[in-house]
Amino acid sequence: MSFSSTGGDATRRVGGEASLHALSCLEGVMPIRGVDGNTGEAIPIGVSPGLRGADDPYRADVVRWTAMDVPSIMVVEDLTKLREAYRIPEDIELILPGPNERACFPRRGCTALHLNAFVSGMRLPLHPMFRRILRAYDLAPTQVSPNGWSQMVGGMYLWFRHSFSMEMPLHVFQTIYQPRKLPRKKGREEEVGWYYFCPWGSHKPLVTGCASSIKQWKESWFWVSGNWQRVFDDPEPDLDAP
């Protein structure tokens, strides 16, 4: 998987096999009948974990979001390079966290983002489709793993490409993907609440070739404030999650 770090949206080159797979998934997305990966139970058409009830243990918002063992390892030079590489507007403020700050307890008016979300294709201001997905599962942006961001960005791009330049609806994304919890690492019992997106049942993801392991992506986080959520004339509400 490759991308361009310049410009507004990530430009992805998807190989022939992956492109054909993505097209076949998108053409047949509405009839998909999902299977719960945790129970093996068949899920009716169009029903996703974000719509399955507040008492569902696999809903993302049931799990407490904590990251007490994950201080930021970023330095000022990292933020300078980040702004230059991804053309982040000056009205969006990038702030280096203090040594005792944690992403799950944001500063007033700030939200945590991690560096590898940008590597995976996220851009600022945040696209309204991503805000809809994050709000549906009550997730903060930094709770989504780099591969989770790759699926969101790649899914948006492929849908736009193969659906007459239409934006992917939320229910389509939820029909294809489910949020799954990343397992805790040994010795990090006080961190909980990171997620990735995987397809329902035995379906393949839209974006293939993602890295199986990315070192220190959780620790590579920073604060963002200002006009990072909204583009001009964007009617989508802001995120409530920290």
Give 235's pLDDT tier (boundaries 50, 70, 90). Answer: low
- pLDDT higher than 50, residue 20: no
Average confidence (pLDDT) over 150-162: 89
The continuous run of DSSP H or E covering 197 comes out as strand 195-199
Give 158's pLDDT tier (boundaries 50, 70, 90). Answer: confident
d(CA 3, CA 117): 12
CB of 213 closer than 8 Å to CB of 116: no
| pLDDT averaged over every residue in the chain | 74
d(CA 208, CA 220): 24
d(CA 55, CA 49): 11
pLDDT per position as a tens digit, 71-122: 999 999 999 999 999 999 999 999 999 999 999 888 899 999 999 999 999 9
pLDDT of residue 203: 79
Q: How far is CA 125 from the centre of its chain?
A: 14
Residues of the chain with pLDDT > 70, as a percent, come to: 65
Q: Locate the domains of the chain by residue range.
A: 56-226
Highest mean pLDDT among 82-86, 170-174, 178-182, 206-210: 82-86
pTM summary value:
0.70
